[in-house]
Structure 1
């Protein structure tokens, strides 16, 4: 399966979903705009800050991956460039202790971002698995060397 096998429609739908989620996360985690935070405990503020950073970072990683896919599908990136520069970073799940301090709506937003990351990670993994299976022996060896040195 080449990168083009990931349907453009799927990429566009995920991109729209990620944009909405990024906007929701900005609204929820913007402490300057959150008047309910006055008088809140320091632990709650810290939990909100930590999980806000994790959530927005997670969504931005997804958006970057999707933007690279869109660029490839529109011909702005070659497959070689996509291989080199489009790795979705590993997930860093929310801390259960922090989640326990947050409101249910905030927890749901965090879980939604984790689910989106997991869906995109499955696409990324499947694409890489298929790509690696179709590599020539030389490409496969170069890939293993790059992976051994953390360059893939």
Structure 2
């Protein structure tokens, strides 16, 4: 059986998704360090806390995606074997929960920031699907998964207060 994701990742057609992922990392970093920092100052206290927590989640999500993409690129270029990549990729978590759009303050978040969050979630879903097809690591991928509102709020609070 031919695994299309595996063929894609281990071929030249991997470059567009690699470029998309690394571009999103750079775009998010530029926003968070520049315009996002300025916009965050004008948010209400509730929205500012949510922004801080979601910023951390966005950064974590993008770093996990970047790690996965870099591992695949290393395998694609022959720097690492597929077995080495499989062993290293076990450290990469592609199972972050999406944002909680019903959280207090969500509607106040900057539009560009919300766009970055949604784009990162969609990219993570694509990468997760490829990972599962290639390595069959058994993650229970459910694109319609939504965490319970209570657990999502607890995670946001833990993140905001650095206890998670």
Superposed pair shares fold, TM > 0.5: yes
Return the offset for 1:125: 0.6
Flag the 1:36–1:43 CA change in 2: closer, same or farther, 3 A: same
Instruction: Provide the residue aligned with 2:7 in structure 1.
Output: 5
Return the offset for 1:11: 2.4
The reply to whether residue 22 of structure 1 matches residue 25 of structure 2 is yes
Q: Check whether the contact 1:65–1:86 (CA below 8 A) recurs between aligned residues.
A: yes
Q: Check whether the contact 1:72–1:82 (CA below 8 A) recurs between aligned residues.
A: yes
Which residues of 2 match residues 1-150 of structure 1 at below 5 A? 1=2, 5-7=7-9, 8-30=11-33, 34-87=37-90, 88-89=92-93, 90-96=95-101, 97=103, 99-129=106-136
Q: Check whether the contact 2:6–2:130 (CA below 8 A) recurs between aligned residues.
A: no
Return the offset for 1:43: 1.5
Gaps (5+ residues) in structure 1?
Answer: 133-152
Gaps (5+ residues) in structure 2?
Answer: 139-164
Flag the 1:65–1:39 CA change in 2: closer, same or farther, 3 A: closer
* Counterpart secondary structure, 1:34: helix
Return the offset for 1:55: 0.8
Return the offset for 1:32: 8.8
The two structures have a TM-score, normalised by structure 1, of: 0.73
Q: Would you say how many aligned residue pairs link Structure 1 and Structure 2?
A: 131
The two structures have a TM-score, normalised by structure 2, of: 0.68
Q: Give deviations 1:7-54, integer Å, cap 9, x for gaps.
A: 433322112111221122113323797333334322122111111111
Return the offset for 1:57: 1.0
Q: Give deviations 1:67-97, integer Å, cap 9, x for gaps.
A: 1011111111112211111144112211221
Structure 1 residue ranges (4+ consecutive) displaced by more than 4 angstroms after TM superposition: 1-4
RMSD: 2.6
User: Larger radius of gyration, structure 1 or 2?
Assistant: 1
2:106 and 2:31 map into 1 onto residues whose CA distance is 14
